[in-house]
Structure 1
């Protein structure tokens, strides 16, 4: 599946993963991961956390173990729901239910077991990921991204688009970003306000019309 219509606007991997669904709990609800585990792998390639050779190997592994792949995909959607709820609470300046952190902590322990430090040619150090061996390993970078955002990020910059409900990290200098994308949700909101204004101006007053003095 292609994800050309799914722009990575979150500013953090974990937020982009949350944004694989939009307009939650509305008639416009969109789900971008409809194809099961294969779609999850394709999204990871799209987001830059998985290579094509790794994806090909994991797809073969999923074909050999379809029940396991299906369960991994269900777990991925559950983790997405947890992360979305967690960052939604932050965006609304609400307290985070402790069970969200408990789930993230449990996932973080596995993710850390697959990270290792390497020294780069310029002498600095960075994290790298061990190759994926289990189907669920593809979720580890997403979990690490969420943990890093909670520990190192400015949580007051975690925002939620009032149009589609997407989450994003506001990196603007004056913290003025409101929409996921001004060209999409922002302009649609402007158009709705303009239409509402026109309708208000053209609606006959209750004191005018036939039979009114």
Structure 2
């Protein structure tokens, strides 16, 4: 993650949509966390960058970004994000996930639609008719993660103040950072400085 919120909002180190969504609070465990999706318009922009909504769906939803219903969606989004944090923390500690909010959301979400090809990638064929649509791919990603062996590979960046989650796909499950080039370099420099100064 980066102290530049515009840059951080384009960094996807989680390896799964749901974990990248969990990482939309930059410097999550610091004293000064930075919100990367402060409103519905930002959520749509994040969905476009992450490739979870077709362009046409995003264009249809954008005029509704200032509505009261969009504000309500953001409250649900933040609740889902907090749930993903809790679930990810429990998984990496070897505990069972708490599924109440997830299952409640699944009970009202539609079945996953067919896929469409876009920009050399694939998207769910969401139509842009339901204002909750940006949250559905996050929810589907979370259920896929929980139902797979990847649930045993969830890790959290060990850099001071970061708190970003990822699926550790390293052979020996030894990944320490959300990004070796970003947090890894910063943390190595911090630790080297602290060692020189005799501070932990």
Q: 2:145 is matched with which residue?
A: 149
C-alpha distance in 1 between matches for 2:166 and 2:52 = 19
Normalising by structure 1, we get a TM-score of 0.79
Q: Where does 1:123-138 land on structure 2 (aligned, <5 Å)?
A: 128-138=124-134
Q: Where does 1:96-115 land on structure 2 (aligned, <5 Å)?
A: 96=97, 100-111=98-109, 113-115=110-112
Given the alignment of the two structures, is residue 140 of structure 1 paired with residue 144 of structure 2, yes or no?
no
Normalising by structure 2, we get a TM-score of 0.83
Q: Where does 1:81-92 land on structure 2 (aligned, <5 Å)?
A: 81-92=82-93
* Residue 25 (structure 1) shift: 4.8
- Return 24-33 or 147-156, whichever deviates more: 24-33
Map Cα deviations across residues 142-176 of structure 1 (whole Å, 9 max, x no partner): 00000000002332210001121100001112222
Q: 1:205 is matched with which residue?
A: none
Map Cα deviations across residues 17-69 of structure 1 (whole Å, 9 max, x no partner): 000013225323121112x1100111000110112321121112344xx1111
Q: 1:161 is matched with which residue?
A: 157
* Residue 127 (structure 1) shift: 9.3
Contact 1:114–1:129 at 8 Å: present in 2 too? no
* Residue 128 (structure 1) shift: 4.3
Contact 2:112–2:140 at 8 Å: present in 1 too? no
Given the alignment of the two structures, is residue 174 of structure 1 paired with residue 172 of structure 2, yes or no?
yes
Given the alignment of the two structures, is residue 10 of structure 1 paired with residue 14 of structure 2, yes or no?
yes
Map Cα deviations across residues 119-146 of structure 1 (whole Å, 9 max, x no partner): x9xxxxx994442321012211100000
Q: Secondary structure at the match of 2:147?
A: helix
* Cα RMSD (Å): 2.5
Q: Which runs of 5+ in 2 are unaligned?
A: none
Q: Which of residues 181, 186, 194 is equivalent to 2:184?
A: 186
Bigger relative contact order (CA 8 A; separation at least 6): 2
Q: Which of residues 29, 32, 37 is equivalent to 1:28?
A: 32
Q: Secondary structure at the match of 1:197?
A: helix
Contact 1:3–1:46 at 8 Å: present in 2 too? no
- Return 102-111 or 173-182, whichever deviates more: 102-111
Aligned length: 188
* Residue 72 (structure 1) shift: 0.9
Q: Which runs of 5+ in 1 are unaligned?
A: 121-125, 202-213
Q: 1:55 is matched with which residue?
A: 58
Map Cα deviations across residues 62-104 of structure 1 (whole Å, 9 max, x no partner): 44xx1111111111111111111111221233343xxx40110
1:173–1:59 CA distance, 2 compared to 1 (3 A):
same
